[in-house]
Amino acid sequence: MRLVLLGAPGSGKGTQAQRMQARHGVPQVSTGDLLREAVAAGTDLGRAAKIVMDAGQLVADNIMLGIIRERLARPDAARGFILDGFPRTIVQADGLGALLADLGTPIDAVVLMEIDPEVLQKRLAGRRSCRRCGRVFHIETNPPKPGERCTDGKLHDLFQRPDDNEETVRERLSVYCERTQPLIDYYARKGLLRRIDAAGTLDEVNSRLEAVLASLTSAH
């Protein structure tokens, strides 16, 4: 399974990709997570990326393509992957297409997670991630279960992403409209686009996503 999840910040790409990773055994490849790891490690890339991320802007296409090339070459991606947050521009989509064409492993589908902008604001305002395991929660709609433990046996250590503040969210949504939305037509023209309603509970959205996957498998 080689899938791209496309959608605005807060549409649920990360949460659904984490679920699918657990269920289908193919890795979630989140370029946002890869960049946050570089920030946490204090590498040159991380230091440069942090400034761009905190401003709600996009990291340069050539850097992102380098990151994705390296990540998809790792052995766990050989059986497939779920791309979450990549590609975000036409240049990235062209680069990904060329890379996968070289490898002879094209993407199966691009799933657009459609959602009302008002819901996005609410989702992002309540979003929290675990500092240690990286799982994504929502303080109201998807909090950790009482007593639930992190991978290391301790309680989850939740934090709010610095770019989830109101002002940066506004900027990220406008960058999404300008730079990423054109990918909807781009993939529709290639016949790869599938749309799902990303409103509702995690389980509801997950079933819609699974239905798309099932339709791909049955079409093969």
Phi (first) and psi of residue 106, to 5 degrees: -70, 160
Window 51 to 70, contacts with ligand AMP (CB under 6 A): 52-53, 56-59, 64
Q: In the annotation, is 19 catalytic?
A: no
Does residue 12 interact with ligand AMP by CB under 6 A? no
Which stretches of 84-201 are DSSP H helices? 90-103, 117-126, 166-175, 182-189
Cα 13 versus chain centre, distance: 5
One-letter amino acid of 197 = D
Q: In the annotation, is 79 catalytic?
A: no
**Region near ligand AMP per CB under 6 A, out of 15-23, 31-39, 123-131, 189-197:** 31-39
Of the residues 7, 12, 27, 85, which one makes contact with ligand AMP according to CB under 6 A: 85
Q: In the annotation, is 13 catalytic?
A: yes
Phi (first) and psi of residue 72, to 5 degrees: -75, -15
Window 160 to 179, contacts with ligand AMP (CB under 6 A): 163, 172
Does residue 86 interact with ligand AMP by CB under 6 A? yes
Q: In the annotation, is 208 catalytic?
A: no
77 and 29 Cβ atoms separated by less than 8 Å? yes
Cα 66 versus chain centre, distance: 17
Positions annotated as catalytic residues are 13, 88, 127, 161, 172
Q: Which residues bind ligand AMP (CB under 6 A)?
A: 9, 31-32, 35, 52-53, 56-59, 64, 85-86, 88, 92, 163, 172
